[in-house]
């Protein structure tokens, strides 16, 4: 495979969004480690499945956004492989199917460990990954993308990872899911804020199209506030030490990004803000994981 072709597929996988796959598994595994039930093989398979589902969902978005006419030459976001002509629609659809099948097959190991509940979680994750932009009622086109992201990248991913390690549902995993889901949502918020005009023209009813840009800016601020509130709750009400406050080291970075979201004049700067929001999630995630363990 030529280097240029490899680069096309790497770009189509959207590495700037893959923090949304990595960090939830990291947090779930950290909780399992704290509970002395951590398993390397289970965690690595869960990580692989998370990456595969995220990449498959990105391929699906690439395909369906092109088919539905959302990706046009006026797009100011990252270049899409199908819309640019680098990959044919049929090839992108095949890549979506193959990637999702790989995720499903790998996930059977987790089903063997965790039982039928993991099978249903996996199937729903695959279905909703496709339904985000595909199907008769695409979530991302009907103002439900944010809820989907919060639930599946927060509660489902974090609690599911903890469960396949410990085989028990954890209240701590529930609380830890909230900041992770919130920071994942903010990646989507920046994406929707950047694309609000194109989405309005193409009929894509994101929250920005439905309620305006100010609503997205408020959502970004709210998700940041929610993220940093949870360590405070864990310290005051769940008996954690001050180490749980380690994520506050990233607060100046988060505030800087929030200022860009509120004060930007050129939507093109939000491409960098999206990448930086993803990095914020990674930094927050590592520090939060350390705080949970310590």
pLDDT digits (tens, 9 = 90+) for 191-239: 999 999 988 888 889 999 999 999 999 999 999 999 999 999 999 999 9
pLDDT given for residue 73 in this prediction? 61
Low-confidence ranges of the chain (pLDDT < 70): 1-3, 71-75, 77
Distance, CA of 111 to CA of 157 (rounded, Å): 14
262-285 burial, b at 16+ Cβ within 10 Å, e below that, comes to eeeeebeebbebbbbbbebbbbbb
Q: Is 72 helix (H, G, I), strand (E, B) or coil?
A: coil
pTM, 2 dp? 0.93
Q: Is 35 helix (H, G, I), strand (E, B) or coil?
A: coil
pLDDT given for residue 3 in this prediction? 61
pLDDT given for residue 202 in this prediction? 82
Distance, CA of 291 to CA of 171 (rounded, Å): 16
DSSP letters along 150-175, please?
A: HIIIIIIHHHHHHHHHHSS--HHHHH
CA gyration radius, the chain: 19
Listed by start position, the domains of the chain span 21-293
| pLDDT single digits (tens) 9-38 | 999 999 988 999 999 999 999 999 999 999
Whole-number percent of the chain with pLDDT over 70: 97
Residue 196 contacts residue 216 (beta carbons within 8 Å): yes
Distance, CA of 63 to CA of 87 (rounded, Å): 10
CATH class of 21-293: mainly alpha
DSSP letters along 190-228, please?
A: HHHHHTHHHHHHHT-B-HHHHH-HHHHHHHHHHHHHHHH
pLDDT given for residue 69 in this prediction? 77
């Amino acid at each position: 495979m030529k280097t240029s072709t490899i680069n096309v597929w790497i770009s189509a996988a959207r590495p700037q969004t893959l923090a949304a796959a990595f960090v939830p598994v990291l947090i779930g595994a950290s909780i399992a480690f704290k509970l002395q039930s951590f398993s390397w093989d289970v965690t690595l398979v869960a990580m692989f499945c998370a990456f595969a589902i995220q990449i498959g969902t990105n391929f699906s978005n690439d395909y369906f956004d092109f088919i539905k006419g959302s990706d046009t030459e006026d797009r100011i976001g990252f270049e899409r492989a199908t819309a640019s002509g680098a990959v044919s629609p049929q090839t992108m659809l095949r890549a979506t199917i193959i990637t999702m099948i790989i995720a499903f097959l790998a996930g059977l190991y987790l089903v063997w460990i965790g039982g039928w509940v993991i099978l249903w979680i996996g199937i729903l994750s695959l279905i909703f990954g496709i339904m985000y932009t595909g199907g008769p009622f695409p979530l991302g086109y009907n103002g439900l993308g944010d809820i989907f992201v919060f639930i599946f990248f927060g509660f489902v991913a974090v609690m599911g990872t903890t469960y396949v390690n410990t085989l028990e549902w954890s209240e701590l995993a529930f609380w830890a899911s909230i900041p992770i889901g919130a920071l994942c949502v903010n990646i989507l918020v920046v994406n929707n804020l950047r694309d609000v005009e194109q989405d309005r023209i193409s009929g894509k009813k994101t929250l920005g199209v439905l309620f305006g840009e100010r609503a997205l800016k408020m959502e970004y601020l709210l998700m940041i506030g929610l993220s940093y509130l949870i360590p405070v709750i864990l310290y005051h009400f769940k008996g954690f030490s001050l180490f749980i406050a380690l994520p506050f080291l990233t607060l100046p970075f988060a505030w800087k990004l929030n200022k860009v979201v509120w004060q930007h004049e050129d939507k093109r700067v939000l491409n960098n803000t999206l990448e930086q929001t993803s990095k914020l999630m990674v930094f927050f995630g590592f520090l939060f994981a350390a705080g949970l363990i310590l």
